[in-house]
Structure 1
Amino acid sequence: MILLNLIVSLVIIVRCAYSKPDFYLIETKNTIGKVHSDIRASDYPEKDTDDNSAESETSTEDIILDCKCGKENINVADRIVGGEDAEMLEFPWAVAIVMKGQTIYGDKFHYHVCGAVLISSKWVLTAAHCSHDDKGVDWKIENLSVRLGDHNQDVKNDTKIEIIREIDKFIIDPDYEKSSLDNDIALVKMDREVDLMLYTPVCLPELNKEYKGKAYALGWGWTKPGVINSHAKILQKIKIKIRPFENCKRQYPKVTERMICAGVLNGKKDTCKGDSGGPLTVRLKEYQRRHVLAGLTSWGNDPCAAPGFYGVFTKVSYYIDWIYQTIRDQTESVKFCQTE
Structure 2
Amino acid sequence: MLLSYRCIYSVLLTTIASIMVVLSSSASQSSLLPTVRKCGGANSAMGSSAHTMAMNLAAYGLLENRISTLEAPRKTHWSKKFLAKREATPHTAPYVVSIQMMTPDQGLVHYCAGTVINEHWILTAAHCLNSPQTVENSVIVAGSHDIHDHRGEAANIQMRHIDYYVRHELYLGGVNPYDIALIYIKRPLVFDEYVQPAMLPEQDAHPEGYGTLYGWGNVSMTAVPNYPHKLQEANMPILDMELCEQILARSGLQLHETNLCTGPLTGGVSICTADSGGPLIQQCCEDSFEQGNIVIGIVSWGKMPCGQKNAPSVFVRVSAFTDWIHQVISSATHIM
Shift of 1:182: 0.9
Q: Which has the higher contact order (CA 8 A, sep 6+)?
A: 1
1:85 equivalent among 80, 84, 87: 87
Is residue 142 of structure 1 aligned with residue 136 of structure 2?
Answer: yes
Q: Equivalences for 1:166-181 in 2 at 5 Å?
A: 166-181=161-176
CA deviation vs aligned residue, 1:246-304 (integer Å, no higher than 9, x gap): 11101123001010001212212111000010000112334644321110011012221
Paired with 1:179 and 1:146, the residues of 2 have a C-alpha distance of 23
Percent pairwise identity: 28
Give secondary structure in 2 for the equivalent of 1:237. strand
Aligned to 2:122: 124
Paired with 1:145 and 1:292, the residues of 2 have a C-alpha distance of 24
Aligned to 2:320: 318
Paired with 1:265 and 1:234, the residues of 2 have a C-alpha distance of 26
Aligned to 2:80: none
Give secondary structure in 1 for the equivalent of 2:321. helix
Query: Quick one: which amino acid aligns to residue 259 of structure 2?
Result: M
Shift of 1:229: 5.1
Q: Is the 8 A contact 1:167 1:189 kept in 2?
A: yes
Q: Is the 8 A contact 2:31 2:169 kept in 1?
A: no
Aligned to 1:26: none
Aligned to 1:308: 310
Query: Quick one: which amino acid aligns to residue 310 of structure 1?
Result: P
Q: Is the 8 A contact 1:115 1:278 kept in 2?
A: yes
Change (3 A) 1:169 1:142: same
Aligned to 1:99: 101
Paired with 1:255 and 1:42, the residues of 2 have a C-alpha distance of 24
Query: Quick one: which amino acid aligns to residue 110 of structure 2?
Result: H
CA deviation vs aligned residue, 1:26-63 (integer Å, no higher than 9, x gap): xxxxxxxxxx969x7789638xxxxxxxxxxxxxxxxx
Paired with 2:10 and 2:142, the residues of 1 have a C-alpha distance of 21
Query: Quick one: which amino acid aligns to residue 307 of structure 2?
Result: A
Aligned to 1:246: 242
Query: Quick one: which amino acid aligns to residue 301 of structure 1?
Result: K
Change (3 A) 1:332 1:138: closer
User: TM-score, normalising length from structure 1?
Assistant: 0.70
Change (3 A) 1:257 1:42: closer
Query: Quick one: which amino acid aligns to residue 262 of structure 2?
Result: A
Paired with 2:229 and 2:333, the residues of 1 have a C-alpha distance of 34
- Larger fraction in strand: 1
Change (3 A) 1:43 1:124: farther
Give me the CA root mean square deviation. Answer: 2.8
Q: List runs of 5+ in structure 2 lacking aligned partners.
A: 1-8, 15-24, 36-82
Aligned residues: 262
Q: List runs of 5+ in structure 1 lacking aligned partners.
A: 1-16, 23-35, 47-80, 334-340
Paired with 1:93 and 1:86, the residues of 2 have a C-alpha distance of 13
- Larger fraction in helix: 2
Aligned to 1:163: 158
Aligned to 2:203: 207
Is residue 188 of structure 1 aligned with residue 183 of structure 2?
Answer: yes
Shift of 1:121: 0.3
